[in-house]
Structure formats: structure tokens, C-alpha cells
């Protein structure tokens, strides 16, 4: 049985930096590390912000296929896998999308059903949520790459954070751990070591 750990959080919360730091530590040599979705798109663009429910649900196929690609690279030589983002990120975005569209784009419940039915084996056993504020996110952003405007909105990010607050009640088989993403890297690593 493989135990899947996922590092989650809003944009610029430090997920990729943490994954890369952990991958260099001897105490994590029994882990396989899987980079985030952008490393697996093969030149394709991510689906844009959906205009309607159908567009949002169509994106699920895209991310499901990406998740399969990510797991194909796992050697199986260890029983622990650490992901930079997981299907929880996709669901968090659907949750926020439905909320900021005031329910006009319905996609959250259907997406949970879709991923549990077809990709349930990829859901993490443990979710490490790096928490930063919207203000910290915008401070770290400083024109670092392009993100769709809605993804950088305060309201959208509030709903992303809300998703992780109540996700444990929807996914009782996953352990959720919050870590302050503004702490020093060595402090964050110590907290992750306590979780794993």
C-alpha cells in the first residue's frame, strides 16, 4: 500500500519550494516526489477560467489525465509519495468558482463524484496545507508569472481557503494538517517531519 502525501495551498504558499527541499533531505529518502501539474502538460495550456458548468466539468478530464501521467512516473520502489498539489487543488478551484459565480457555474458536487468514481486511487491519504494570507500571496507574487485575474482575486482565494477548512468533513479518510506557510523553511520542514 502506497501512502500519498500532498502539499496544498494557494498560489505562492511555498508548495514547490517545500517539495524540493524535502527531496534533498536524507530523512525523506524513502519518498518519491512528484512535481506539480505544470510539469506534465507537455506544452498544452491549462483550461482557462470556465464560462459555464460544462466548461468547468470538461476540465476534470484534463486534470484526471494529468494525474494519471504523474503517477505513471512513480517507480514503486518506496511506499510513500509526496505530491506538489493533488486533486484537492482541482476541487478547491471548483468550489471557489461555484462560489464567486454565485452558483451560476455549478461544478463542485459533480466534480467530487467524477474524481471519486474514476480517480479515487489518487486522492491523498495525508494533506499538508501551507496556509498564507491573501496579503502574503500578493506580496510574494510581484509579477511572478501570469495567473488568470480571477485566481488572484481576494474573494476567490478566500473560498480556496474555506475549502481546506471543511474538506476534512467531506474526505474523512484523509488526514489534514495546517502549517503556517510564513514560517522559516526549517520550521516548516520540522512540522512536516512530525506529520510523516
**6: β partners:** 83, 127
Q: Where are the domains of the chain?
A: 3-195
Q: Is the pTM value of this prediction over 0.85?
A: yes
Tens-place pLDDT, residues 9-61: 999 999 999 999 999 999 999 999 999 999 999 888 899 899 999 999 999 99
- The CATH number that domain 3-195 falls under is 3.40.50.300
91: CB partners within 8 A, 6+ apart: 108, 111, 112, 115, 163, 167
Q: State residue 6's pLDDT score.
A: 98
**CA 75 to centroid of chain Cα atoms:** 22
Residue 105 gets which letter from DSSP?
A: S
Asked if pLDDT for residue 143 goes beyond 70, the answer is no
77: CB partners within 8 A, 6+ apart: 32
Say how far apart CA 14 and CA 17 lie, in whole Å: 5
Tens-place pLDDT, residues 57-106: 999 999 999 999 999 988 888 899 999 999 999 999 999 999 999 999 99
- If we measure between CA atoms, which residue out of 190, 6, 171 comes closest to residue 81? 6
Q: What is the 3-state secondary structure (H, E, C) of 178-193?
A: EEECCCCHHHHHHHHH
Amino acid at each position: 500500500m502506497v501512502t500519498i502525501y500532498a502539499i496544498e495551498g494557494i498560489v505562492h504558499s511555498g508548495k514547490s519550494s517545500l517539495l524540493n527541499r524535502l527531496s534533498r533531505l536524507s530523512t525523506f529518502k524513502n519518498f518519491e516526489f512528484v512535481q506539480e501539474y505544470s510539469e506534465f502538460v507537455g506544452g498544452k495550456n491549462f483550461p482557462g477560467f470556465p464560462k459555464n458548468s460544462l466548461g468547468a466539468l470538461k476540465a476534470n478530464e484534463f486534470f484526471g489525465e494529468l494525474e494519471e501521467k504523474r503517477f505513471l512516473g512513480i517507480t514503486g520502489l518506496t511506499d510513500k509519495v509526496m505530491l506538489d498539489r493533488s486533486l484537492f487543488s482541482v476541487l478547491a478551484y471548483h468550489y471557489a468558482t461555484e462560489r464567486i459565480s454565485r452558483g451560476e457555474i455549478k461544478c463542485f458536487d459533480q466534480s467530487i463524484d467524477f474524481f471519486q468514481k474514476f480517480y479515487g486511487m489518487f486522492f491523498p491519504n495525508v494533506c499538508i496545507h501551507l496556509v498564507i494570507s491573501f496579503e502574503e500571496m500578493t506580496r510574494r507574487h510581484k509579477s511572478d508569472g501570469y495567473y488568470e485575474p480571477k485566481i488572484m482575486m481576494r474573494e476567490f482565494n478566500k473560498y480556496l481557503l474555506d475549502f481546506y477548512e471543511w474538506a476534512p468533513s467531506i474526505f474523512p479518510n484523509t488526514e489534514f494538517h495546517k502549517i503556517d506557510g510564513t514560517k522559516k523553511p526549517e520550521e516548516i520542514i520540522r512540522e512536516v517531519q512530525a506529520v510523516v
